[in-house]
């Protein structure tokens, strides 16, 4: 698609036309005439007819929330989820701390230490959802797609602390092992055809 028509701001030469809207009445009599014509034109009945027609056709589009919910798009940013690796079920988070750094509302904090296998272990991780603005930077910056945004947008509770429990955010281990954990497609996910852009490194083996 060309952007030409957007860039050409010379209104006179484009296919613009004026909508046929009569001028506003300026006199008292003119106002009375407009009120009368609007009242008796019958537009009201056009509307009533559409409602009645749809009612007798029983083609109802109302979603019965909360019994049913609309599916949300992959880029929807609701309460965070912590993903696990498929099969092994190990937590994906490597404790790099980038989410903590990038968080613009400063609501992520983590603690790490050296574990007995000389690996970095995340000992504690919190997101203060009372402060979170769901900007999605944490998911975007995460190099492991460990922290992602889930579709759970209902965050109403009498305690903010209810939303900061790490174990609630973490994918259940059986979901990871059985492969039912849903891969995140939102910001930060691998873009399609990424492989084609990767340059190979020579190996001496």
Partner 1 sequence: MENNITITIDGKEIQTREGEFILNAARANNIFIPAICYLTRCSPTLACRICLVEADGKQVYACNAKAKDGMNITTTTENIETEKRAIMEVYDVNHPLECGVCDQSGECELQNYTLEVGVDSQSYSVPDTHKEAVDWGLIHYDPALCIVCERCTTVCKDMIGDAAIKTVPRGGDALNTDYKAQMPKDAYAMWNKLNKSLIGTADRSDMLDCTDCGECTAVCPVGALVSSDFQYASNAWEQKQVPATCAHCSAGCQISYDVKHTDIENSDEKIYRVKNEWNYVSLCGAGRYGYDFQNADAVKDETAFNAAIAAFKKADTIAFTSSITNEEAFILRRLKEERGYKLINNEAKVFKTFLDDYSKISGQQLYGADLKMVHASDFVVSIGSALKTDNPNARFAFNNSITMNKGAGLYFHPIKDPVIDGLSKNVMSINHAPLQEETALYLMLDLFADKENLPKDITKYLDSFHSKKMITIEETIKEEIIEKVMVKQLNKETGEEEEVEVEKKKMVPKKVSKEVEVDDNALLAQLGAPADFDEKLQKFLKKKEKFSLMVGPDLYTHPNSRNLARLVALVEKYTQFELVMIPALANTLGVSLICDLDEEVGEYTIGYNTKADFTLSALGDGDLDMPALNQQEGTLTSINKRVNPTNVALSYGGYVLNDIANALGLDAKYTIDYTKELGVVKGFSRESFDDLPNHYTNSGEEVRGYLLKRIGIRRSSNESVNELEDIAIQSDIVYLANPVLQFTAFTNASHQLHGEGGLYGSEAFMSKHALNAGDKVNVKTAQGEVRAVMIHDNKIDGEIAYLPTFDVNLNSEALFSGYRFSSASYTKV
Binding-site ranges for partner 1 (CB under 8 A): 94-98, 100-101, 109-114, 118-121, 124, 126, 143-144, 199, 201-205
Q: Which helix (H) or strand (E) holds 82?
A: strand 80-82
8 A C-beta contact, residue 188 and residue 141: yes
For 136, left (φ over 0), alpha (ψ -120 to 50), or beta?
Answer: left
Q: Over the Cα atoms of the chain, what is R_g?
A: 28
Shortest distance in whole angstroms from residue 172 CB to partner 1: 23
The two structure tokens encoding residue 20: 């046929």
8 A C-beta contact, residue 148 and residue 81: yes
Indicate the residue among 31 and 131 with the shorter CB distance to partner 1: 131
Shortest distance in whole angstroms from residue 146 CB to partner 1: 11
Shortest distance in whole angstroms from residue 98 CB to partner 1: 7
Dihedral pair phi/psi, residue 175, rounded to 5°? -65, -35
Exposure class string for 92-128: b at 16+ Cβ within 10 A, else e: bbbbbebbbeebeeebbebebeeeeeeeebbeebebb
Shortest distance in whole angstroms from residue 183 CB to partner 1: 20
Indicate the residue among 11 and 114 with the shorter CB distance to partner 1: 114
The two structure tokens encoding residue 174: 């059986």
Shortest distance in whole angstroms from residue 10 CB to partner 1: 44
Indicate the residue among 96 and 189 with the shorter CB distance to partner 1: 96
Indicate the residue among 16 and 205 with the shorter CB distance to partner 1: 205
Indicate the residue among 97 and 151 with the shorter CB distance to partner 1: 97
């Amino acid at each position: 698609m060309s952007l030409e028509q957007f860039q050409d701001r010379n209104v006179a030469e484009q296919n613009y036309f004026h909508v046929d809207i009569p001028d506003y009445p300026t006199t008292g009599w003119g106002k009375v005439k407009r009120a009368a014509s609007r009242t008796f034109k019958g537009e009201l009945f056009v509307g009533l007819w559409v409602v009645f027609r749809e009612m007798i056709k029983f083609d109802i589009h109302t979603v019965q929330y909360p019994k049913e919910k609309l599916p949300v798009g992959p880029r929807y940013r609701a309460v965070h989820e912590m993903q696990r690796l498929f099969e092994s079920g190990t937590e994906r988070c490597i404790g790099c701390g980038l989410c903590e750094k990038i968080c613009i509302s400063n609501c992520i904090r983590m603690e790490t230490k050296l574990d007995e296998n000389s690996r970095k272990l995340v000992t504690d991780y919190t997101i203060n959802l009372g402060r979170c603005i769901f900007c999605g930077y944490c998911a975007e910056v995460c190099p492991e797609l460990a922290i992602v945004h889930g579709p759970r947008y209902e965050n109403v509770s009498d305690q903010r602390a209810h939303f900061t429990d790490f174990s609630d955010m973490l994918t259940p281990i059986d979901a990871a092992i059985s492969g039912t954990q849903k891969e995140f497609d939102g910001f930060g996910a691998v873009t399609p055809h990424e492989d084609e852009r990767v340059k190979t490194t020579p190996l001496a083996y």
